[in-house]
Chain A
Amino acid sequence: MEQHKDNKKKLPSLHDKIVLKLSNDLKPISFKKPFTIFLLWFLPSISIAFLFALFMGWRPDLNAKFHTLSFLLGWSALFLAMIASSWFAIKMSLPGQEPKKYTRIFILMIPFVFMAYETIRLGGYFSWKLFLHDLHFDYPCTLAIFVISFIPLMILSFLTSRLAPLKPFWTAWIIATATMLLGSLIVELHCAIENGCHLALWHYFPVFVFSFLIALPLQRFLRKWKSKLH
């Protein structure tokens, strides 16, 4: 008790004023578990993504592809990367539960390494014909990825902005990566072009570029919680 009194003497003079201000009219609030928040994002997002997939149509060889080990492993790896990124985006918004810096880099590197591997494995050549083909395609892959990811991006950004992201840029980047990966996964179920060059240019490259570009304005939105009083 004496120790407590001694400590109180060392506090800044405005301590009592702040305590009074904050404790006055304190409202009850509830803590939402990260898993609940994850489900609030995942269930509507995956439903929307599959609706887009149905609308765009499945690739003709999808059945055969899901019996191919390399495709199955690759698709599952990206799916897991998407799940991990969205989970860590939520954890990034809970003070004291943020993953360490190396874990964050690792999360962002998994899809990069995998996609680089896929591009090399499938190989390919650059041709203007292939390049222009995508532009004339019914649903250009890059545009489809962007459109599919848009609503999941909004949902995850909204949910995390209601928490307390202390590192808004990292959070925004991981959110954008997770949602762009979701878009990319769905487009893989639609686009049957198996050319490393096409995949790298129209499927994978946009995931990295867009996720980084989206993170720049999104971080400003994620900072807003600091100026709001609940």
Chain B
Amino acid sequence: MNEELMHKVQQGDEDAYKELLDQIGFIVVRHIRRHIRNEETVNDLYQTVFMTLHRARHTYDTSKPFKPWLYAITKNVIYDYLRKNKKRIELEMLTGFELTVEAQKNTEQEEVSLLGRALKTLSPRYEEAIRLVKIDGLSMEEAAQKLGISKAAMKVRAHRGYEKLKKYLINEAKHGTT
């Protein structure tokens, strides 16, 4: 079905193209939402997938199934985004907050300052451990070397730090004191 539509698209049939994009829209958005929760980012990636698909439409071989071609493009757009925003996403996972590049500057500043406040509530040893691993992007081994402790001790310290940080942020979010 999609293969036939795509064949017509390659011949320049606008109606077939509209029908095809309507049909695949749900598959694409579901795939993106599996990886991204922020709705604005989902919209951006959705647009990027469609643009990429449009630019690559001459590479689709109509004798082959359509879905692997579509998934390859969708997956590539998502992974490209995840790779470029690795550090920010780690922060999102850590805090449970969705700090987005696309968010309004004010909101972003508020979230960053909230994170800063949260970090200050921790004891210096936990704060430093989290800064090294999650903000400066050092590996556990590198961070352990920097602090002059063993890798196992570093892991324990970072883990305890996350737990305390998470607890503080959840508490803040519940009471809406941002």
Chain A positions near chain B (C-beta within 8 angstroms) = 4, 7-8, 10-15, 18-19, 22-24, 26-33, 93-98, 163-164, 166-167, 225-226, 228-230
Contact = CB atoms under 8 A, between A and B. Distances in A.
A96 B68 contact: yes
Contacts of B50: 18-19, 22
Interface in B68-109: 68-73, 76
Given A22-B21, A26-B13, A164 B56 contact: yes
Interface of B: 9-14, 17-18, 21-23, 25-26, 29, 42-43, 46-47, 50-52, 54-62, 64, 68-73, 76
A164 B57 CA distance: 9
Contact of B26 (A8, A13, A28, A32): A8
B46 A98 contact: no
B79 to A, nearest CB: 9
Do most interface residues of chain A lie in helix, strand or loop, or is the interface mixed? loop
29 contacts: A7-B26, A8-B26, A11-B26, A12-B29, A14-B47, A15-B21, A18-B21, A18-B50, A19-B17, A19-B21, A26-B12, A26-B17, A28-B10, A28-B12, A30-B10, A31-B61, A95-B56, A95-B59, A95-B69, A95-B72, A95-B73, A96-B68, A163-B59, A164-B56, A225-B55, A226-B52, A230-B54, A230-B57, A230-B58
Contacts, number: 109
B72 A98 contact: yes
B45 to A, nearest CB: 10
Contact of B14 (A15, A24, A93, A167): A24
Contact of B43 (A14, A164, A230): A14
